[in-house]
Amino acid sequence: MVLPKVHTLPFLLPIAWIYDWVMAVRNWAFENGHLPVTSFEDQVAVIGIGNVVAGGAGKTPHIEYLIRLLQREGVGPIAVLSRGYKRETKGFLKAAPGVTARQLGDESYQLFRKFPDVIVAVDEKRVDGIRNLLSSDNPPKVILLDDCFQHRYVKPGLTICLSSYHRILYRDSVLPAGLLRENPKGIRRANLVVITKCPDSLRDEEETEIIAHMPTELSQPILYSGYKYGQLVNLVTLKPTKVDPRTDVLVVSGIADPSVMISYIGKRFRLLDHMAFGDHHRFSNKDIQKIRERLDGVNAQGNVTQIKGLEPIVIVTEKDAARLLDHKAVSEELKKRIYYLPTEVFFLKDHENQFNKIVLDYVRKDR
């Protein structure tokens, strides 16, 4: 056992067995034609990005990687379609100037701001969403489906399943004993598997364990990716900004697994506190007040910075920044002290070439 341990709740296994059975029946219904499955393969390339674990696998950074790859290769137009988790709207909505994170969902809003040339849309019914996209005046050539692995009403032409190095799925349990949305064997529906959030290099024994225990078929490639971080971006200027490494930092996170980010920041700044919220947390006015109070007291208890003029700052994820950017309770003065950490994916070994080839060979097929 060489990979990070996975915390589960064994006393909840009886309930997990019931949940596992329900999901097995649901999957059987899709596979045997009792629930409808729609393919758009003759009209558009559809790439699905999802996971078996409930959150924390890094879907959005991998979607960004795919967008950059396709743009670099001149493939387009590109669309990203998701359900818009925790948004305040219903039905089909395409991103346009003036739309907010509350209307679109934080991840979709982040992509819209970052990639203005990409069509970003949300619809809880993905079949309807794709039909709406294809009926537009300039229909996409590629549609990236965000978090689609358990949404089986659409059959992607290429399915990518992610599994975090820090919570490898074959050590996990089905909800509520663990965080698996279905049995680990469900990963066999994917065309390829990516182990995400890996350290810069994998030990041989780690890779041996993954290959031996991952419940994949022999035909499914297993690739490895990690995170690299860019320069901090200020919430007022929205430009990369150099920050003195001696600065006191309060980290605020509303994502499923902030461990990689915390480790990175702790090695580069004076990390004095971390306020953790749930995944996709919608910050209330009271939350903003607590953040402000914690920021003002972050270097208490003898940790006062001796560097004159260095005020403590807040560092958040890019996804959290999307929720804070237009928040009415976040004053301009507070925004000046909030920075987000841009995240990009890189692949280990020669896996970048393998991943790129699989994706580009698929999207370039005649339709």
**pLDDT tens per residue, range 259-291:** 888 888 988 888 888 988 887 788 888 988 988
Domains present along the chain, CATH in parentheses: 10-228+346-363 (3.40.50.300), 233-341 (3.40.50)
pLDDT at residue 195, as a whole number = 96
Query: Is the pLDDT score of 304 beyond 60?
Result: no
Query: Is the pLDDT score of 306 beyond 60?
Result: no
State the DSSP H helix or E strand holding residue 250, giving kind and residue range, or none if neither.
strand 248-253
Q: Which residues contact 337 (CB under 8 A, 6 or more apart)?
A: 295, 311, 312, 313, 314
Q: Helices in 297-337 by DSSP H: which ranges?
A: 318-324, 332-335
361 vs 261, higher pLDDT: 361
- Confidence class for position 143, pLDDT limits 50, 70, 90: very high
CA distances from 361 to 70, 73, 92, 247, 339 (A): 11, 12, 30, 47, 38
Q: What average pLDDT does range 237-241 have in this prediction?
A: 90
Query: Is the pLDDT score of 49 beyond 90?
Result: yes
Look over the chain and give the mean of its residue pLDDT values, rounded to a whole number: 90
With 0.85 as the threshold, say if the pTM is over it: yes
Q: What average pLDDT does range 3-21 have in this prediction?
A: 93
Q: Are 299 and 269 in contact (CB under 8 A)?
A: no
Query: Is the pLDDT score of 302 beyond 50?
Result: no
Q: What average pLDDT does range 293-307 have in this prediction?
A: 63
Rounded to an integer, what distance in angstroms lies between the CA atom of residue 326 and that of residue 330? Answer: 8
Q: What average pLDDT does range 140-162 have in this prediction?
A: 95
Q: Give the whole-number percent of the chain exceeding pLDDT 70.
A: 96
Rounded to an integer, what distance in angstroms lies between the CA atom of residue 88 and that of residue 124? Answer: 12
3-state secondary structure of 271: strand
pLDDT at residue 309, as a whole number = 65
